[in-house]
Amino acid sequence: MRQFFDERNYTEVDTPSLSPDLIPEATIENFETTFSNEFVGSRNLYLVPSPEVFMKKLIADGMGSVYQFCHCFRNAEQIGENHNPEFTMLEYYTVGYDEQDSIPLTEELIERSSPKGTDTALLPPFRRMTMQEAMWEYAHVDLDVCQDQRLLAEACRMNELLVPEQREPWEDTFNRLFLTLVEPNLPQDKPVVLDRYPRQIDCLAKRDGNYRKRWEMYMKGVEIANCYDEERDRDTVAAYYEKEYAKLVEERSKSGSVIPDCDPSFADIFTHFPQTSGVAMGIDRLLMVQNGEKEIGALLLFPFSAMLMHGKKLS
Amino acid sequence: MAIKAGQIDKGTALLIKGQPYVVTDREFVNPGKGSAFVRIKMKSPTTGQTLSDTIKTQETVDDINVSDRDCQYLYQDGELFHFQTTDTYDEVTVPMVTFPDYQFLMKEGETYRCTFWEESLLDIQIPSKVIYTVAEAEEAIKGDTVTGTTKNAVTDTGLKVRVPIFIKAGEKIRVNTETKEYLERVND
C-alpha cells in the first residue's frame, strides 16, 4: 500500500496520537489522559479518534496529497466482532479529487495490495449503489419522499420495526431501517460502494441536494472504508463544529463521559483549503475479511478482549 | 421490568408488543457518524416466528422475568413437543417448529431444564455434550480414501452424525449438541 501511494507522489505523514484538543464528534467517545510536569503544570490530553484534523492542516499548508497509517482510539465501543478500542487506520487525502475520483483509486489500491489468491468477492470492480437505490431495494423506502421523520417512522412500523412514539432525530429513524433491513442484505459477491449518504447525517462531506458527497465501501457486509468530498467552506465547517460540540456537551453531561477540549480555530484551516477527497480505511477489518475471519481480534497480536480477560493488576 | 438495549444478550427474554421473544443473536453496530445501536434477532417460542430489529443501546426495552423448571420430555406428535413439569406434573406443550432438530437431540423420558415465563415454555436447555447410542452405522469401505476417515451414522434419537470408521451400531458416542458433531466414543 505504501508503494502504491509513493508511486503517485503522496507524502507519507506521521501525526500525533496525543492531542490537547480534538474536533467535536458527538458519536465518538474519547480517551482522556493528563500531561503533568511538576514545574510546567498539567494539561488534559486525548488519544486521537482519527488523524483527520492534523492531515487537513498539512493539506491547507500546501503539502499536497498525503497518507498515513496510524493507531486510532475510540472509547465505549463494544469489544470484539468488528471493533477494538485501538485500531489501525489508513487515511489518504487526494488534492484535486472528488469522492467519485476516489472510487477507481480505491479499486486500484485494493487490486494492487490484495494478496495472491484473495477471494474475488473482495476484489474490484466494486458494485456501486446509491443509498437511495439501496433503501428502495431492501426497505421499500423512497428517501426523496421520506424527508420528514414521521414518514420514516411510519416506514419502520410498516416493516414491523420498533420505533418510539415521540419524535426522534431523522438519522436515528433512518438507521433503524438501514441497519435492520439494508446493511445485512447488501450484496456480498463483490465489494459494494454505497454512495450518496442522506444530508441529515451531518458530517464534513459536501452537501448535494438531499444527499452528501460521501460513500462507504463494504466487503462481505463489513464496513471497510468511508470517503468524502471534503467540505472546504470555512463558515459551513465552523457551524458544523459548533452544532456538533453543543450536541456532544449535552449528551455527555447526561452520561458523564469525557468532554474533550475543542479548539474553535480549527475551522480557520478552511479559509485556504484546496479541493480534496479523503478516504479512511479500517486496516484490521480489511485483513479480517481477507483472511476469512469473523472477529477483529483474530488478527491482532494482543486483542483488547484477551488483555481484559487475562490481565491482572498489581496489588 | 425495563432494561437498556445495550444490556440485551443472547438468551434474554423480551416482551415485544405484548408477546414474549427470546434473543437468538445480538450484534453491536456503530454506524459511521451515528449513535450506537444493537442489532438483534429474536424468536417467538409460542409461534416460532423470528423477528429482526435494531435498537439504540440507550433505549429501554421490556424484559421479562423468567424462571427455570425441570420438565420431563414425554413425546412428540409431529406438531408439538409434550412435556410434564416434574414438580407439579402439569403437561406443557410447545410447537416443534420453534426448536428445529430438538426432536433428534432429546430423549423421551429424560428431564430437561426449561425456561418459563408465567405458564409459557420459552426455552429448552439441552446440555452441550450428550451421550447417544448409535442405532445405525454405515459399513466402512476398505480402501475408500475419498470420504476420508468418517462415515454416516444415526443415533437412537434419529440424529445424523459423521463418525469415525471404527464406530459400530450399538456403541455409545458423545456428541456436541450445538454443532451436532461427534466428539468421542464412550466406553461403559
What's the pLDDT at B145? Answer: 57
Shared domain for A246 and A131, answered yes or no, is: no
Comparing A38-52, A134-148, A276-290, B53-67, which segment has the lowest mean pLDDT?
A: B53-67
What's the pLDDT at B31? Answer: 84
Comparing A64-68, A285-289, B23-27, which segment has the lowest mean pLDDT?
A: B23-27
The mean per-residue pLDDT over the stretch A62-90 comes to: 91
What's the pLDDT at A43? Answer: 93
Pick from A27, A76, A180: CB nearest B53: A180
Flag whether pLDDT at A149 surpasses 60: yes
Domains B2-62 and B129-186 share a fold: no
A194 in a structural domain: no
Residue B27 contacts A where some CB pair is shorter than 8 Å = yes
Residue A190 in 3-state DSSP? coil
Shared domain for A118 and A132, answered yes or no, is: no
A199 in a structural domain: no
Shared domain for A75 and A99, answered yes or no, is: yes
The angle subtended at Cα A126 by Cα A121 and Cα A130, nearest 5°, is 125
Flag whether pLDDT at B67 surpasses 60: yes
Shared domain for A105 and A15, answered yes or no, is: yes
The mean pLDDT of chain A is 94
What's the pLDDT at B142? Answer: 64
Nearest chain A CA: its distance from B34 CA (Å)? 6
pLDDT confidence tier of residue B141, bands split at 50, 70 and 90: low
Interface confidence, given as ipTM, is 0.79
CA distance B14 to A233: 48
Nearest CA in chain A to B16: A162
What's the pLDDT at A22? Answer: 94
Pick from A77, A171, A178: CB nearest B30: A77
Shared domain for A167 and A152, answered yes or no, is: yes
What's the pLDDT at B144? Answer: 58
Pick from B33, B34, B52: CB nearest A180: B52
Supply the CATH number for residue A30's domain.
3.30.930.10
pLDDT confidence tier of residue A220, bands split at 50, 70 and 90: very high
CA distance A115 to A138: 33
What's the pLDDT at B138? Answer: 85
CATH code, B129-186: 2.40.50.140
What's the pLDDT at B34? Answer: 80
Encoded amino acid at A245, one letter: Y
Flag whether pLDDT at B99 surpasses 90: no
Q: Which fold has domain B67-125?
A: OB fold (Dihydrolipoamide Acetyltransferase, E2P) (2.40.50)
For residue A170, list chain B residues with Cβ-Cβ distance below 8 A.
Answer: none
Flag whether pLDDT at B147 surpasses 60: no
**CB atoms < 10 A from the CB of B77, how many?**
10
Encoded amino acid at A73, one letter: F
A31 in a structural domain: yes
What's the pLDDT at A197? Answer: 97
- Comparing B150 with B161, which gets the higher pLDDT? B161
Domain that holds residue A248: 2-122+212-310
Tell me which residue of A146, A119, A153 sits closest to A132, measured CA to CA. Answer: A146
Structural domain boundaries in chain B: 2-62, 67-125, 129-186
CA dihedral over A286, A290, A294, A296, signed as positive or negative: negative
Residue A41 burial class via C-beta count within 10 angstroms: exposed 0-12, middle 13-18, buried 19 and up: exposed
A196 in a structural domain: no
Residue with cell 461403559: B188
Q: Mutate which of B29, B49, B62 to test chain A, going by most A C-beta atoms within 10 A?
A: B29
For residue B31, list chain A residues with Cβ-Cβ distance below 8 A.
Answer: 175, 178-179, 223
Shared domain for A289 and A175, answered yes or no, is: no
What's the pLDDT at B179? Answer: 87
Comparing A10-24, A219-233, B33-47, which segment has the lowest mean pLDDT?
A: B33-47
Nearest chain B CA: its distance from A208 CA (Å)? 18
Nearest CA in chain B to A295: B27
Flag whether pLDDT at A137 surpasses 70: yes
Shared domain for A112 and A231, answered yes or no, is: yes
Residue B35 contacts A where some CB pair is shorter than 8 Å = yes
A207 in a structural domain: no
CA distance A104 to A191: 13
Shared domain for A229 and A112, answered yes or no, is: yes
Nearest CA in chain A to B6: A78
Q: What is the dihedral of CA A172, A178, A184, A187, to 10 degrees?
A: -150
Nearest CA in chain A to B32: A226
A238 in a structural domain: yes
What's the pLDDT at A314? Answer: 66
Shared domain for A109 and A160, answered yes or no, is: no
A303 in a structural domain: yes
Q: Provide the grid cell at B92.
A: 406443557
Tell me which residue of B69, B67, B66, B8 sits closest to B42, measured CA to CA. Answer: B8
Question: Within its chain, how far is the Cα of A90 from the centroid?
Answer: 11
Shared domain for A98 and A133, answered yes or no, is: no
Q: Residue B155 in contact with residue B161, Cβ under 8 Å? A: yes
Flag whether pLDDT at A311 surpasses 70: no
What's the pLDDT at B81? Answer: 95
Q: Residue A62 in contact with residue A272, Cβ under 8 Å? A: no
Flag whether pLDDT at B56 surpasses 70: yes
Q: Domain B2-62's class? A: mainly beta
The mean pLDDT of chain B is 89
Flag whether pLDDT at B102 surpasses 60: yes
Q: What is the pLDDT of residues A195-205, one digit of tens each?
A: 999 999 999 99
Q: Residue A261 in contact with residue A21, Cβ under 8 Å? A: yes
Specify the number of domains making up chain A. 2
Flag whether pLDDT at A305 surpasses 60: yes
Nearest CA in chain A to B7: A78
Interface of A with B (CB under 8 A): 27, 76-78, 81, 83, 160-162, 164, 171-172, 175-176, 178-180, 183-184, 201-203, 216, 223, 226
What's the pLDDT at B53? Answer: 93
Pick from B28, B36, B55: CB nearest A162: B55
The mean per-residue pLDDT over the stretch A216-233 comes to: 97
CA distance B124 to A77: 33
Q: Given A142, A174, A189, which residue is the final one in a domain?
A: A189
Q: Residue A201 in contact with residue A244, Cβ under 8 Å? A: no
- Comparing B1 with B112, which gets the higher pLDDT? B112
Flag whether pLDDT at B158 surpasses 90: yes
pLDDT confidence tier of residue B47, bands split at 50, 70 and 90: confident
Shared domain for A163 and A27, answered yes or no, is: no
